[in-house]
């Protein structure tokens, strides 16, 4: 970058070429985090079967989402103190360390722990990407670049499952277990992100002297951890009335109250409660939560359906998610250009959440004989809805808050979307497991009465093994196999029936979004100068 900036002067607006230089590093960093969420979900079946732990299916995802979620709000404040680039690069290095360790895992416990380290880095990659975008691109012009990041999400939604499938379908590659490469593949991308950010990410941000609210940070992290443990681990694993579930949720409530009291008295709170007085901040936080939950419901459940019910390999399952990517990328580009051209954004979350809701409802039509063309249309519809919604609410948020609150407000929005993703994974995974636990016994009892011969060779131990390894289905009679697959289908239907009302609530909320004129380049630059003046004046 060539713009010289004095210590008490806001920088001049960046040229298109300079913005693209900044975005290159951000997109690779964001790709790391986004790709990891989808690459693991497809390969997870092979991984947990290798470790004989299918019953802990959601643990590996939850550990990652828990730490990424809990750390997200902290990165905005820390980057205000130490600068965007070093903190962003710290997140990249942390993510790479976690990736290397996860690839070397020897059991489920190690894998879950190292995924947590990955998540700690991913929290910074996701949060700071949007903060830095808010630093350098005016809201009115942000739509022009929206397609780039929609493309990152789209690529990750397909490349992740595709790569995950490719690696997990190979027992070994270069003498290493195939699934381990889903973590090792992050290393060259991470090195590229470090090189690009070192070369181009010289973004001047108005440095403000902060007093970090350590007690608030501790209470927040502990509270989020307690919440996620109760809803995504102990609840699905031990039951919602189990002592572990109730006690951890109770601890969350206590820590939440303590956190709110601390934030009211802190000089510089981690999450300023005054932000919730901003109508757009509150609404976009709720929308981010709902979009996160809906998005992960589709991304995690569809590959599982394709592999368990349709019998596809992990690689083929990944390829079959291409329409999902096309929907995200195409509508991100179209909506972004329309926002920059006309300055109106409210219509896009409304359209997008409508499409997502309809698409998820249509997924309840899936069965053992559903054609790929039909599934592709449903995927395309959901992807288009995400493309219309996901980046648009960030533009609305960043346009509605003061420049001095940009970092913490953007990080908070990412935080709520991550919370939604984590709770969504837990909710949908729990619904799937619980309903499957109902349908399978019902099917077996029905066969005992109507066709006992269909249960030939199927021992109680085989049904118990089915919880951890679906490969045992191949040992069943054709009639029993049909019953098992039919049980899978009905369990998936129940998941999508739960997911659709969630996105429908988002649609209702989107109707109340206030459309504020988007700040132009001149107004955006003036706001930066005002923020600099407040700091140095």
Q: Answer for the pair 530, 403: CB distance below 8 angstroms, yes or no.
A: yes
Choose among 76, 75, 124, 83: nearest CA to 207.
83
Per-residue pLDDT of the chain (537 residues; tens, 9 = 90+): 444 344 444 455 666 677 777 788 888 888 888 777 667 766 776 777 666 655 566 677 777 877 887 788 788 777 777 777 888 889 999 999 999 998 888 877 788 889 889 988 988 888 888 788 877 777 767 667 766 776 777 677 667 777 777 777 777 777 777 778 888 888 888 898 888 888 877 765 555 556 777 888 888 888 888 887 787 677 767 777 788 888 988 999 999 999 999 988 888 787 888 888 888 999 999 999 988 887 766 667 888 888 888 888 767 777 788 888 888 888 888 888 888 788 788 899 999 999 999 999 999 999 998 999 999 999 999 989 988 888 788 888 888 887 777 777 888 888 888 788 778 877 788 788 888 888 888 888 888 888 888 888 777 777 776 766 677 788 888 888 888 889 889 999 999 998 889 899 999 999 998 888 776 655 555 555 555 444 434
Question: Could you give the angle at the alpha carbon of 74 between the alpha carbons of 72 and 79, nearest 5°?
Answer: 105
CATH 1.20.1250.20 fits 16-212+270-447+481-536, yes or no: yes
Question: Could you give the angle at the alpha carbon of 411 between the alpha carbons of 409 and 413, nearest 5°?
Answer: 70
- Burial (CB < 10 A; 0-12, 13-18, 19+), residue 480, is buried
- Specify the 3-state DSSP secondary structure of 15: coil
- Burial (CB < 10 A; 0-12, 13-18, 19+), residue 172, is exposed
Task: State how far the Cα of 162 lies from the Cα of 39, in Å rounded to an integer.
Answer: 7
- Burial (CB < 10 A; 0-12, 13-18, 19+), residue 169, is middle
Other CB atoms within 10 A of residue 103 CB: 20
Give the single-character DSSP code of 173. Answer: E
Task: State how far the Cα of 113 lies from the Cα of 335, in Å rounded to an integer.
Answer: 39
Buried/exposed code over 437-475 (b: 16+ C-beta within 10 A; e: otherwise): eebbeebbeebeeeeeebbeebeeeebebbebebebbee
Other CB atoms within 10 A of residue 303 CB: 27
Task: State how far the Cα of 226 lies from the Cα of 74, in Å rounded to an integer.
Answer: 18
- Specify the 3-state DSSP secondary structure of 164: helix
Task: State how far the Cα of 39 lies from the Cα of 303, in Å rounded to an integer.
Answer: 11
| The pLDDT value given to residue 390 | 82
* Domain residue spans of the chain: 16-212+270-447+481-536, 213-269
| The pLDDT value given to residue 258 | 94
């Amino acid at each position: 970058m060539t713009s010289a900036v004095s210590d008490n002067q806001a920088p001049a607006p960046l040229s298109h070429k300079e913005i693209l230089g900044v975005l290159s590093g951000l997109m690779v960093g964001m790709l790391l985090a986004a790709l990891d969420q989808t690459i693991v979900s497809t390969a997870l079946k092979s991984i947990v079967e290798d470790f004989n732990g299918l019953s802990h299916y959601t643990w590996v995802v939850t550990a990652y989402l828990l730490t990424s979620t809990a750390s997200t709000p902290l990165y905005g404040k820390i980057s205000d103190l130490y600068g965007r680039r070093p903190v962003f690069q710290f997140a990249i290095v942390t993510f790479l360390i976690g990736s290397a360790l996860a690839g070397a895992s020897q059991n489920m416990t190690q894998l879950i722990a190292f995924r947590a380290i990955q998540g700690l880095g991913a929290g910074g990659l996701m949060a700071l990407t949007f903060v830095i975008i808010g630093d350098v691109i005016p809201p009115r012009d942000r739509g022009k670049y929206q397609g780039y990041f929609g493309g990152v999400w789209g690529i990750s939604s397909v490349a992740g499952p595709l790569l995950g499938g490719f690696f997990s379908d190979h027992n070994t590659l270069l003498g290493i277990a195939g699934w381990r490469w889903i973590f090792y593949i992050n290393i060259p991308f991470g090195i590229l992100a470090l090189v690009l950010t070192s070369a181009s990410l010289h973004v001047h941000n108005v440095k403000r002297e902060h007093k970090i609210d350590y007690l608030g940070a501790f209470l927040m992290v502990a509270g989020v951890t307690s919440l996620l443990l109760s809803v995504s681990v102990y609840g699905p694993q031990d039951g919602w009335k189990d002592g572990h579930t109730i006690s951890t949720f109770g601890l969350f409530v206590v820590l939440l109250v303590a956190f709110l009291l601390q934030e009211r008295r802190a000089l510089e709170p981690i999450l300023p409660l005054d932000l919730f007085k901003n109508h757009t901040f509150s609404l976009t936080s709720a929308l981010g939560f709902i979009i996160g939950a809906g998005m992960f419901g589709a991304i995690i459940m569809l590959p599982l359906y394709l592999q368990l019910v349709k019998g596809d390999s992990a690689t083929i399952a990944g390829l079959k998610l291409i329409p999902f990517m096309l929907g995200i990328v195409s509508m991100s580009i179209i909506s972004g250009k329309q926002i920059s051209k006309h300055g109106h954004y409210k219509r896009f979350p409304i359209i997008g959440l409508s499409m997502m809701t309809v698409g998820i409802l249509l997924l309840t039509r899936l069965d053992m004989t559903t054609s790929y063309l039909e599934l592709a249309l449903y995927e395309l519809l959901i992807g288009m809805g995400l493309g219309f919604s996901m980046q648009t609410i960030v533009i609305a948020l960043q346009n509605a808050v003061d420049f001095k609150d940009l970092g913490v407000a953007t990080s908070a929005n990412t935080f709520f979307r991550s919370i939604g993703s984590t709770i969504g994974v837990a909710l949908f995974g729990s619904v799937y497991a619980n309903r499957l636990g109902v349908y399978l016994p019902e099917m077996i009892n029905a066969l005992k009465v109507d066709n006992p011969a269909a249960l030939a060779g199927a021992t109680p131990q085989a049904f118990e093994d089915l919880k951890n390894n679906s490969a045992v289905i191949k040992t069943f009679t054709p009639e029993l196999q049909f019953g098992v697959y039919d049980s899978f289908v009905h369990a998936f239907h129940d998941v999508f029936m739960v997911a659709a009302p969630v996105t429908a609530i988002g649609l209702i909320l989107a109707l109340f979004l206030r459309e504020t004129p988007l700040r132009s380049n001149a107004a955006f630059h003036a706001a930066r100068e005002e923020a600099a003046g407040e700091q140095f004046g």
